[in-house]
Amino acid sequence: METEDGPPGGVTRYDGDWWVQVGQRPYDSDGPKELPTEIVYAVAAIRGIDPTKVTAPTLYDCADVSAIESVCFGQNRSSRGPLESVRFRFGEFLVMVTSNGWIQIYEPNESQRERLAN
């Protein structure tokens, strides 16, 4: 689907490309589901597939999620400290985890890339 303004959501520059947010999912670090599980579920929801069908690449091959967990939600993190966010490529998507408990999923925005080139 093409629209002039693109889908709603934030735009971010990463790895030389512009990316547009296509979904997000809350993450509770005290909850029963682990961060890797929630990230895969967020991507599966955008792709409209079952989470068990999200296969290659594995999240393990894309990011050190336990390190992200400790940066964003670790015990040493002060609640008054600055907002932490970590971004990484996961297959065709860009994933951003923020310390206020969100997993945001971005896709590359082709039209914006072309507009900037002109």
To other proteins, the closest distance from the beta carbon of 55 in angstroms equals 8
How far apart (Å, rounded) are the C-alpha atoms in residues 56 and 32?
A: 25
Q: Nearer Cβ to other proteins, position 9 or 51?
A: 51
Q: Nearer Cβ to other proteins, position 55 or 79?
A: 55
To other proteins, the closest distance from the beta carbon of 61 in angstroms equals 7
How far apart (Å, rounded) are the C-alpha atoms in residues 87 and 46?
A: 18
Residue numbers at the binding site for other proteins (CB under 8 A): 33-34, 36-37, 39-41, 51-52, 54-56, 58-61, 65-66
Strand ranges inside 4-66, DSSP E? 11-14, 17-26
Asked if residue 94 lies in contact with residue 19, where contact means CB atoms within 8 angstroms, the answer is yes
Q: Nearer Cβ to other proteins, position 15 or 64?
A: 64
What pairs with residue 85 in β-bridges?
A: 98
To other proteins, the closest distance from the beta carbon of 82 in angstroms equals 27
